[in-house]
């Protein structure tokens, strides 16, 4: 299982395959988990999800950018999405990755790009979530969110339960709107739990703590064991539905997504769009090789 996971994570970081994928559009089943290649298509998908009672967080796909032009292009795309959210009056906010906006190029350049985005979103009352990437980028990402939060109240971020330091970070940033996840990258045992049971146990612990002590919790998982546990926990502690939401990725466990909405929980779908789908898609295969079924369905259901 670990070998399969490492294989797909290795593929997700292959620059050659990544750039080839961009040229060839949505392939290999990615079209079932990516909402569209442009803003117009994505807005149509979002309107459908909103009509089903789901809010959305929109991710302009792309990461690990090393050229300034590419980072500026990504900034332009995200600003376009912010305008579209406002113009189309959809129930949606932004998710972004600092490495797409130049974190690996220059800290100040990245900060300027991110501030431009957060400020534009702030003007329209749109929330911006900073996705968390791998460990080498973790502290710099927290630093940027913390700095921006002094000026803007529309920023939040992610806590990855596989990190040993997650509990400390959760405590420090408890007043942010936080998304709590298990963690998607390959990390060493010097910084992160490796065992699924340890990660799951820490995940539950962090969620419970933040539901009791934090501001607003986004519980982002497809794990029905965790979801059922949270349902029982909020009931036992009389935590009202407006203190938390469940989040899942677009195209995954859609029956369960709809069921949560029917049960009256706040639900937000993470909606990725664009041509830079390769790394995102490979990480989904790493998490759950059965996701290859999605590929098979796309290949054979022509």
Known binding residues: 97, 132, 160, 182-184, 196, 221-222, 283-284
Q: How many CB atoms sit inside 10 A of residue 56's CB?
A: 25
Q: Is 222 in the site for ligand FAD (CB under 6 A)?
A: yes
Residue 189 a catalytic site member? no
Residue 229 found at the interface with ligand FAD (CB under 6 A)? no
Shortest distance in whole angstroms from residue 4 CB to ligand FAD: 13
Residue where the block lists tokens 């998982």: 221
Binding residues for substrate: 97, 283-284
Binder among 63, 104, 131, 276 for ligand FAD (CB under 6 A)? 131
DSSP state of 174: T
Instruction: Restricting to residues 242-261, name those near ligand FAD by CB under 6 A.
Output: 247-249, 252-253
Nearest residue to 174 (alpha-carbon basis) of 157, 161, 162: 157
Residue of 221, 267, 273, 280 that binds ligand FAD (CB under 6 A): 221
Stretch that binds ligand FAD, among 40-48, 169-177, 183-191, 232-240 (CB under 6 A): 183-191
d(CA 300, CA 198): 38
Q: φ, ψ for residue 214 (rounded to 5)?
A: -95, -175
CA distance 42 to 49: 11
Region of 157 please: left (phi>0), alpha (psi -120 to 50) or beta: beta
Bridge partners for 59 per DSSP:
95, 272
In the annotation, is 131 catalytic? Answer: yes
Core vs surface per residue 242-270: b (16+ CB within 10 A) or e:
eebbbbbbbbbbeeebeebbeeebbbbbb
Handedness of CA 254, 52, 259, 130 (dihedral sign): positive
User: Residue 71 or residue 132: which is nearer to ligand FAD going by CB?
Assistant: 132
141 lies in the binding site for ligand FAD (CB under 6 A): no
Out of 132, 166, 260, 271, point to the residue binding ligand FAD (CB under 6 A).
Answer: 132
CB of 286 to ligand FAD, least distance (A): 8
Instruction: Check residue 178 for interaction with ligand FAD (CB under 6 A).
Output: no
Interface size with ligand FAD, residues (CB under 6 A): 22
Least Å distance between CB 117 and ligand FAD? 16
- The one catalytic residue in 131, 134, 200, 276 is 131
Q: Give the separation between CA 186 and CA 192, rounded to whole angstroms.
A: 9
Minimum CB distance to ligand FAD, residue 9 (Å): 11
From the candidates 169, 179, 200, 276, give the one annotated as an active-site residue.
Answer: 179
CB of 257 to ligand FAD, least distance (A): 10
- E strand or H helix that includes residue 42: helix 39-51
Residue ranges in contact with ligand FAD by CB under 6 A: 131-132, 158, 160, 181-185, 220-224, 247-249, 252-253, 270, 287-288
Active-site residues, by number, are 131, 179
């Amino acid at each position: 299982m670990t070998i399969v996971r490492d294989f797909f994570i290795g593929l997700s970081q292959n620059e050659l395959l990544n750039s080839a994928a961009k040229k060839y559009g949505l392939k290999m089943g990615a079209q079932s988990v990516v909402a569209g290649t442009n803003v117009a298509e994505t807005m149509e998908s979002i309107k459908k999800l909103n009509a089903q009672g789901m809010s959305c967080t929109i991710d302009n796909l792309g990461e690990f950018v090393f050229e300034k032009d590419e980072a500026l292009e990504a900034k332009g795309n995200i600003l376009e999405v912010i305008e579209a959210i406002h113009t189309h009056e959809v129930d949606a906010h932004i998710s972004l990755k600092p490495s797409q906006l130049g974190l690996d190029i220059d800290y100040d350049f990245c900060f300027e790009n991110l501030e431009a985005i957060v400020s534009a979103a702030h003007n329209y009352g749109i929330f911006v979530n900073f996705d968390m990437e791998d460990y080498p980028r973790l502290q710099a990402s927290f630093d940027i969110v913390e700095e921006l939060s002094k000026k803007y109240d529309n920023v939040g971020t992610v806590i990855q339960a596989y990190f040993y330091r997650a509990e400390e970070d959760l405590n420090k940033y408890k007043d942010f709107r936080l998304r709590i996840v298990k963690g998607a990258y390959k990390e060493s045992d010097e910084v992160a739990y490796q065992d699924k049971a340890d990660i799951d146990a820490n995940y539950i612990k962090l969620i419970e703590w933040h539901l009791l002590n934090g501001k607003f919790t986004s519980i982002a998982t497809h794990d029905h064991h965790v979801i059922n546990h949270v349902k029982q926990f909020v009931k036992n502690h009389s935590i009202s539905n407006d203190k938390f939401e469940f989040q899942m990725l677009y195209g995954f466990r859609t029956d369960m997504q709809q069921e949560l909405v029917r049960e009256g929980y706040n639900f937000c779908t993470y909606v990725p769009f664009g041509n830079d789908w390769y790394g995102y898609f490979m990480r989904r295969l790493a998490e759950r090789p059965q996701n290859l079924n999605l590929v098979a369905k796309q290949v054979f259901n022509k």
